[in-house]
Structure 1
């Protein structure tokens, strides 16, 4: 959003100042753009701030699905980082501008549609690049309850405390956590790493403690629910009588062998059924071997390696999940990739990689691809697709409208 906002502001700001009689032109009502910003987090307020600063007549309305503004600055910044929260003071000054208005508790796509915003404003700025089809599907969704099912227990969950907070504070929903799932964990979590401890404490609090008056009121009026089911392993999908839709899922009740991250879920022999009409599989990721010439550990789903150096294959390196398994977040992957790159640099410096032999690189690969009728997509090809997505997004009043059909992408770059 930042880069696109920069371009819009530059067009509205700098070029106009070069026109003769600019001050006189700005006094006309016709040049007062009406702009709305969807979302009141940092991106939304910074966008509004920049627009107001660089166009003296622009009017900006900020829409937010929550009643309260400031997004993650309000909900995601820890109390021990007050200097970060100070940015709220700047956002408050923006909101106090006589050319800015804030409208909370308005869900775009449900309460008001994007096309309706487009008819009302000269410009609409979104915090999302969700496709129109997905947006329409979400707006029409009749889902009332969602169960998140895991084979192991609370101490092995893979979500973060930030994600849990967002779920707990999700407007119009209430969490369903069974206090019995957390029995005996109070003493166990004393010696576990702090991030896992804080996450588990929040789950325990949400499950056991009576909600505050405000929270209780919100949950009482909630129309949707979500809950966690631990130590359940999927066995089979149960079909409806028509044989075309699901009516539920049969699950094995499990027990844990071991403790902590290494605990394994073992079936107890007990089985139960959960009634549901939609089932989404999200059971993890496992790398697959590329070909038989590359060492591969099928049990761990990784390429055996040492600091990214593939064992028994000089000059071959790996990085990411195929190197360490499907764990961690983006920053983990970044650091992991840096480590692998450092291994390559060291091998170049020490002569492990022989540079005396000439290599043709893509020239050689290109001839192979050509002989097999394969046409690679270059970065300039991607830029054509990118431009098309941005152009479509502009028509829809958002940063981009993603193209999801690979054949359509290829058709775009073939012209």
Structure 2
């Protein structure tokens, strides 16, 4: 009987566990997570108002409730927790599904000024991630610049543009709801260095920006027209073509009188965040134009956009894992079909899936075939892996070594506490926003 540890309970971790129990009728899987709550970015990355996508948690729940799958939350793997080498001693195989835990940087002057944050930090705050810090993101802000034109940039733009009545039915933590409701932001600029045909957002998310009751949307037709595909987008792939068609429709529409304004800007490359009294005061952009290689080149012409807050949404990045090789260029663990490679040599028993395997690309569903490929590699190695002696059950060993996991019953207690909190506030479910309240709820397990 194979005993496998899956590190990470987001989509890639759950899909790896699902594939294991589907393809091996005896395998036992422990899904470990640093957080006391499962589901990874589905819980802490999907925007609160995207209930349909968040409902994917129901599918992941089915995996974690399988009789040969066990959820062990609140377990740190690596420094300060269970060493990776110790984990390999307790299981026949370990599959790392830890995603890409940090954000990319712009590398421009002023990027670290007060008032400049990564979109990841902002998303974590309004999603109640227990590591998030309430830094008073929007205090005194009238204008916000969002750098990036992917779906995360669209999400944070939409959160800034929604009113409290629209956000109250979500599971957003109460402090974030109150802060967004009190926001004085009137102008939100979402800016990309390339053109509309190269933007990374999906059409569904883009269209949503045009339906917000309290926000008008503006697009500069002259800016769009810099894109060679703007006049005739018919040769573009379907997704990009639809994006351009939506933007063309907005460019020709009369402005609406609304409390907030969203402006989508293109062909502007950030070169500096400018200070005003020691904080963000504006962002300086260089106008770009398309080159002949599908990229852009600078023109030497500059434009400053006033802003008291900058949210940088230019991608995620993987971080090194204790005891595993790491490719700093790609932010991934070197691997062959999911098998970890050490100096080019396969390491039986160590595997990766998800973003730490392939980089932060694709949508949630992309993780399913990625995890399946890794599991096929693991099961091909099973005859070798099964020769290693491991405990019949690693959990008592972990407990004896001072690890106290939050098991599934503890997670269910957290869910009950969040439902009770929501009811007390006259809302639906409201997330607990910090480690203390999460762990207190998990320990208050009722039969």
TM-score, normalization by structure 2: 0.55
Distance 1:190 1:308 in 2: 38
Work out whether 1:358 is the aligned partner of 2:389: yes
Q: CA 1:321 to 1:406, structure 2 compared with 1: closer, same or farther past 3 Å?
A: same
Tell me, yes or no, if structure 1 residue 204 matches structure 2 residue 234: no
2:370 aligned residue (326, 333, 336): 336
Alignment CA distance shift 1:272-1:290 (3 Å)? same
Bigger proportion of residues as strand? 2
1:406 is displaced (CA, Å) by: 0.9
The secondary structure found in structure 2 opposite 1:289 is coil
Q: What's the offset of the Cα at 1:282?
A: 1.8
Q: Is the 8 A contact 2:224 2:266 kept in 1?
A: no
**Which runs of no fewer than 5 residues in structure 2 stay unpaired?**
1-48, 53-161
Decide whether the 8 Å contact of 1:154 with 1:181 is kept in 2.
Answer: no
Q: Which has the higher contact order (CA 8 A, sep 6+)?
A: 2
Structure showing greater radius of gyration is 1
Aligned CA-pair RMSD: 3.3
SS in structure 2 opposite 1:205?
helix
User: CA offsets, 1:327-384, max 9 Å, x none?
Assistant: 2211122332233233333433xx3x431221126348616852xxx54333322222
Change (3 A) 1:194 1:320: same
2:203 corresponding residue in structure 1: 161
1:133 Cα offset (Å): 2.3
Structure 1 runs not aligned, ≥5 long: 1-38, 43-106, 115-125
Q: What is residue 10 of structure 1 aligned with on the other side? A: none
Distance 1:281 1:319 in 2: 26
CA shift at 1:269, angstroms? 4.7
Higher percent of residues as helix: 1
CA 1:153–1:303: 2 relative to 1, 3 Å? farther
TM-superposed deviation, 1:315: 2.5
- What is the match of residue 52 of structure 1? none
Supply the distance in 1 between the matched residues of 2:189 and 2:419 (Cα, whole angstroms). 36
Aligned to 2:337: 307
Q: Are the counterparts in 2 of residues 238 and 250 from structure 1 also a CA contact under 8 Å? A: yes
The alpha carbon displacement at 1:228 in A equals: 1.7
> CA 1:254–1:365 in 2, change beyond 3 Å: closer, same or farther?
farther
In structure 1, how many angstroms separate the alpha carbons of the residues matched to 2:413 and 2:363?
Answer: 30
**What residue is the counterpart of 1:224 in the other structure?**
260
Q: Is the 8 A contact 1:369 1:375 kept in 2?
A: no
Aligned to 1:392: 421
Where do residues 87-102 of structure 1 align in structure 2 (5 Å cutoff)?
none
Runs of 4+ in 1 over 6 A off after TM superposition: none
Contact 1:392/1:400 (8 A) holds in 2:
yes
Normalising by structure 1, we get a TM-score of 0.59
| Structure 1 counterpart of 2:273 | 237
Name the counterpart of 2:41.
Answer: none
Change (3 A) 1:109 1:194: closer
Of residues 383, 394, 409 in structure 2, which corresponds to 1:380? 409
Deviations 1:195-234, CA, capped at 9 Å, x for gaps: 2222222223322x3x3xxxx4xx4332321112223333
| Number of the residue aligned with 2:353 | 319
Q: 2:317 aligns with which of 253, 276, 286?
A: 286
